[in-house]
């Protein structure tokens, strides 16, 4: 019986993967026209350089308004809005599932940020260009749909971008200073953070010059090199010595010091087998994937880093729709 159940589940996932690869964008003509009329053209939310897969969302003749609170999906480092390849899968699985549950294109939104070249992954950080652009995307969706609240789902680096643009305020980065404006938390119903590095990455320990930007002590994922008597061993669990007061990336410390919840409901999701975060996601004795303001969490035993996004669409839907943990 177990084998049959697993076989059926596998076939369902294969079927969904095939269907989700058919999810096509970009932003609808109606949304594109609205963006042009309201001064958003310079942000290139459409990302036509990725053809139909660079963005998603907007009203159509069959979906003239948002009934459900709109959902904005923010992908991670070197990913894209929608499926482009076996390694760049975007949010196609999630969008396909939400559509099957009755959501429409007027209620589901995504845009690609930067490029999908994994060779460039080490150069990405929380810079002002991307913070401002993604903040403007949230603001545009709120204004365009007229919805009083939206929900936001982030994966990997998309989690820490999402938290930053919701919290707003000023930031300093290598590309300058920026003011994101007032907090948006009162306009966010649900925030889901999937496999985010909220306390940094142990692979960034020691300030590796190879990953200088991504591991930046200012705007990257530097986890701090010591905590108490523990030094350069942030992934150990349990730690050999008591640990408190660790200093890590300034950007992340600022996010975590603000105890205001990013939405009415905040959920964290991660896997103990994450092949990118490693160490069962532990950083100085706590999971880096746990958003401090979380109202609930889901911990999976065996998903890879990308699978925590690709295979959890049902759980994402339940948290968005019913505000409960499966």
Write down the mean pLDDT value for the chain. Answer: 92
Question: Residue 158 maps to which CATH number?
Answer: 3.40.50.1820
**pLDDT of amino acid 224:** 95
Q: What integer pLDDT is reported at residue 92 of this predicted model? A: 98
CB neighbours of residue 19 within 10 Å: 15
- Quickly count: other Cβ atoms within 10 Å of residue 106's Cβ: 24
State the burial class of residue 148 (Cβ atoms within 10 Å of its Cβ: 0-12, 13-18, 19+).
exposed
Mean pLDDT score, 273-282: 98
Quote the pLDDT of residue 1: 31
DSSP string, 56-109: E----SS--S--SPPEEEE--TT--SS--SSS--TTHHHHHHHHHTT--GGGEE
Mean local confidence (pLDDT), 53-81: 97
Phi then psi dihedrals of residue 6, to 5 deg: -65, -35
pLDDT category of residue 208 using cuts at 50, 70 and 90: low
Q: Give the pLDDT confidence score for residue 174 in this predicted structure.
A: 86
Average pLDDT over residues 252-263: 98
Question: Residue 81: pLDDT band by 50, 70, 90 thresholds?
Answer: very high
Tens digits of residue pLDDT in 146-160: 999 999 999 999 999
The 10 Å CB-count burial string (b at 16+, else e) for 119-132 is: eebbebbbbbebbb
pLDDT for the residue 135: 98
Query: Distance (Å, rounded) from C-alpha 10 to C-alpha 255?
Result: 39
Supply the range of the domain harboring residue 96. Answer: 2-322
Is the per-residue pLDDT at 18 higher than 90? no
Cα–Cα dist 176/173, whole Å? 5
From the list 155, 133, 145, the residue with the least C-alpha distance to 269 is 155
Query: Is residue 281 a contact partner of residue 229, using CB atoms and an 8 Å limit?
Result: no
Residue pLDDT, tens place only, 96-121? 999 999 999 999 999 999 999 998 99
300-324 core/surface letters (b: 16 or more CB in 10 A; e: else): beebbbbbbbbbbbebbbbbbbeee
Distance of CA 326 to the CA centre of its chain: 20
Give the pTM.
0.93
**What's the pLDDT band for 206 if we cut at 50, 70, 90?**
confident
Asked if residues 189 and 150 have their Cβ atoms less than 8 Å apart, the reply is yes
For residues 235-248, give the mean pLDDT.
Answer: 94
Domain count, the chain: 1
Q: What is the pLDDT of residue 12?
A: 40
pLDDT at 11 over 50: no
Give the pLDDT confidence score for residue 79 in this predicted structure: 97
C-alpha 235/C-alpha 212 separation (Å) is 20
Q: Rounded to whole angstroms, how far apart are CA atoms 34 and 28?
A: 10
d(CA 193, CA 270): 9
Mean of the pLDDT values across residues 170-192? Answer: 95
Lowest-pLDDT range of 9-18, 134-143, 302-311: 9-18
pLDDT in tens, 278-326: 999 999 999 999 999 999 999 999 999 999 999 999 999 999 999 999 8
Are the CB atoms for 308 and 271 separated by under 8 Å? yes
pLDDT band at 207 (very low <50, low <70, confident <90, very high): low
For residues 201-222, average pLDDT: 83
Distance of CA 81 to CAs 12, 24, 155, Å? 23, 10, 11
Contact between 109 and 147 under an 8 Å Cβ cutoff? The reply is no
Q: What is the pLDDT of residue 14?
A: 41
């Amino acid at each position: 019986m177990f084998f049959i159940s697993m076989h059926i589940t596998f076939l369902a996932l294969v079927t969904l993967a095939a269907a989700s690869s058919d999810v096509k964008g970009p932003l609808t003509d109606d949304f594109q026209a609205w963006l042009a009329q309201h001064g958003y053209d310079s942000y290139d939310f459409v990302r036509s350089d990725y053809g139909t897969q660079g963005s998603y969302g907007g009203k159509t003749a069959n979906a003239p308004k948002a009934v459900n609170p709109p959902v904005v999906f923010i992908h991670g480092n070197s990913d894209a809005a929608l499926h482009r390849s076996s390694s760049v899968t975007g949010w196609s699985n999630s969008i396909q599932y939400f559509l099957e549950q009755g959501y429409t294109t007027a209620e589901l939104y995504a845009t690609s940020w930067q490029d999908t070249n994994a060779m460039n992954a080490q150069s990405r950080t929380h810079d002002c260009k991307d913070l401002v652009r993604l903040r403007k995307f949230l603001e545009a969706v709120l204004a365009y749909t007229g919805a009083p609240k939206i929900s936001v789902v982030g994966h990997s680096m998309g989690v820490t971008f999402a938290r930053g643009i919701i919290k707003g305020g000023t930031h300093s980065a290598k590309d300058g200073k920026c003011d994101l404006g007032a907090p948006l938390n009162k306009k966010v119903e649900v925030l889901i953070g999937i496999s985010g590095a909220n306390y940094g990455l142990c692979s960034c320990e020691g300030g590796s010059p190879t990953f200088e930007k991504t591991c930046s002590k200012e705007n990257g994922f530097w986890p701090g090199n010591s905590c108490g008597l523990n030094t350069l061993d942030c992934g150990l669990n349990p730690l050999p010595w008591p640990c408190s007061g660790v200093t890590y990336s300034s950007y992340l410390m600022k996010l975590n010091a603000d105890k205001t919840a990013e939405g009415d409901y905040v959920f964290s999701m991660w896997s103990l087998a994450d092949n990118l975060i490693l160490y069962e996601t532990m950083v100085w004795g706590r999971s880096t994937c746990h958003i401090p303001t979380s109202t609930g969490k889901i911990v999976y035993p065996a998903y890879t880093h990308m699978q925590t996004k690709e295979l959890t669409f049902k759980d994402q839907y339940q948290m968005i729709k019913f505000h409960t943990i499966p």
